[in-house]
A and B are shown apart, each in its own frame.
Chain A
Amino acid sequence: MIRRYVALIRNAWLVDLQYRASIVLWLLWGVTEPAVALGIWWAIAGDGQVAGYARADFARYFFALMLVNQLTIAWDSWYLDGWIREGELNFRLARPLHPAHEAVAENIAYKARTAGMILVVWLVVSLVWPAVRLPLAPGRWALTAAAVLLAAAMRFFISFTTGLLAFWTTRATAIMELHAGVSLFLSGRLAPLALLPPAVAGVAALSWFPYMLAFPVELLTGAAHGPAVVQGFAGQLVWLGVWIAAYHVTWTRGLRKFGAVGG
């Protein structure tokens, strides 16, 4: 299995190599939303604080968000939607390997490249802009790496499962857009969750959204500590389990339906 994965990742890496400019554009697209949000919060905070967040805190939060978002992003629902509608899934099912493995390999190759770029940019920026420097805390970084891995796995299963809905509906990608719209607020993309109205933050806490982004981001910036860290990891594990289960159900049922149609 490991040999297969090495081959798949190498393959995906080489494919990406042909589209370096494209990848830079996607990267740019990914960081503008947090950059604009940072610009607005920067203006609102002025020289004071917003709910305990000063300008420098916002800067660190949104830089961390750019990195974590890039590391955990998943676009599989768009691929799956196309594969199912246009029948390409047939070819992929005929291969001796579950199609998800290829998707995971592409995911890893792409993220290794893009997250690397963000890290380099962050390092360079932090040389001239002290606000975005993080305190040296290797233990915290290791925890963040674990949280990012769990978040990436969860987002992958969310995206993959939603894409599988294309077995039943032609609007699977619309459902994913809807999910993205809600996540703007509940996962902390627009603002740290502490800045949302308490009722909204309360709803967020009951959903999987904060574990996709807000938790790893706050772990990295140092905003989350003590029991919040334990609770965060517990939430990530529970919701990851839920989404893996959802994936299993949609995959087996959907495939049965697909087989019936293609028969």
Chain B
Amino acid sequence: MMFRVPRSAFRVLAALWRLNLAEELQYRANFVASVLGTVFWIVTALLTLAVFFSHTTRLGGWDYWEVVVLLGVFNALTGVIEAVLRPGIGRLAGEVRSGGLDLVLAKPVDPQGFVSFRRLDIWRLTDVVLGLALAGYALHRLGRTPSLAQLAAFALALASAAVVVYALWVVLMSLAFWFVSVENLSVLFDAVYEGARYPVSAYPDALRFLFVYLIPIAWTTTIPASALTGRLGPEIGVVAALVAGVAFALARLVWRAALKRYTGASG
């Protein structure tokens, strides 16, 4: 019963996003600003790597272009976060505080689904395109052509990564029900996600354990990038999908426990 999605949910979603699209198309200059912002971010990240690699030839066993592949994956996921998660579920903490969530709960839809996907900042989806392009270019510089199995594993691992990132957002945002006076919970995600910019093998053992098993950000960038470069075999895609499934189920449980604590505030 946990994963059953009624067909009406898709109709609601389509309607929401259509409205959203119409609204966003009024602000086309934002598209240019968004692309410029992303390019600036990518250049900054590449220069950061250049500084590191001016003193070493490998980072956690990865060479320069391998880390750039990872950076591309990181940027693509950032696009998903900025386009879908932050505008939607990122607002939750404020709504729990103000009682605005009452209006969401009164709607005849699944609140988690509605809260998560109600808003779309479409311009930030360019980050996904630019990120994947960067990963592709780095792969070319590595002189590797991925096999069909590797590409499939990458696609699966990347989709799983998006699910893991989503699960992290749901769990973190659910904390708002316990700590009502917190409005900046998304900052906690940014802090954690900062660690995903580099391969987990570069970190000390304790941190690596943390990132693989407890706060699973290793599954967001390191694993998809490894699947693409062939550092890990194609079967990792299946493992990633399993991890994503577990993460999603856990997040759903936390969300339900959190929602029980909500008493409303708008009276």
Contacts and interface: CB of A to CB of B under 8 A. Distances in A.
A82 B195 CA distance: 31
A174 interface: yes
Contacts of A197: 51, 54
Interface stretch (A39-47, A83-91, A246-254): A39-47
Instruction: Say whether chain B's binding surface is mostly helix, strand, loop, or mixed.
Output: helix
A178 B39 CA distance: 12
19 contacts: A19-B181, A22-B181, A25-B188, A25-B191, A29-B187, A29-B191, A32-B191, A39-B198, A43-B204, A44-B52, A44-B56, A50-B55, A171-B33, A174-B33, A178-B40, A181-B44, A184-B48, A185-B47, A185-B48
Contacts of B179: 21
Contacts of A171: 33
A260 interface: no
B175 to A, nearest CB: 9
B182 interface: yes
A120 interface: no
A80 interface: no
A26 interface: yes
A25 B182 CA distance: 9
A196 interface: yes
A191 interface: yes
Contacts, number: 82
A44 B181 contact: no
Contacts of B48: 184-185, 190
B191 A196 contact: no
B136 to A, nearest CB: 25
A191 B55 CA distance: 11
B33 A18 contact: no
B187 A196 contact: no
B185 interface: yes
Interface of B: 33, 37, 40-41, 44, 47-48, 51-52, 54-56, 59-60, 179, 181-185, 187-188, 190-192, 194-195, 197-198, 202-204, 207
Given A21-B182, A40-B59, A43-B60, A28 B51 contact: no
Nearest to B53: A44
A36 interface: yes
A40 B187 contact: no
A228 interface: no
B188 A28 contact: yes
Interface in A15-35: 18-22, 25-26, 28-29, 32-33
A185 B43 CA distance: 12
A244 B227 CA distance: 53
B194 A195 contact: no
Given A22-B184, A44-B55, A174-B37, A29 B44 contact: no
A203 interface: no
A32 B188 CA distance: 10
A40 B182 CA distance: 31
Interface string A30-64: 00110010011011100000110000000000000
B220 to A, nearest CB: 15
A32 B194 contact: yes
Given A21-B182, A195-B51, A36 B190 contact: no
B190 A29 contact: yes
A42 B204 contact: yes
Contact of A32 (B33, B44, B183, B195): B195
B56 A26 contact: no
A25 B51 contact: no
A52 to B, nearest CB: 11
A36 B44 contact: no
Interface in A130-149: none
A32 B192 CA distance: 8
Given A184-B44, A184-B48, A191-B51, A25 B197 contact: no
Contacts of A177: 37
A36 B197 contact: yes
A246 B47 CA distance: 30
B54 A39 contact: no
Given A26-B187, A44-B56, A39 B202 contact: yes
Contacts of B40: 178, 181
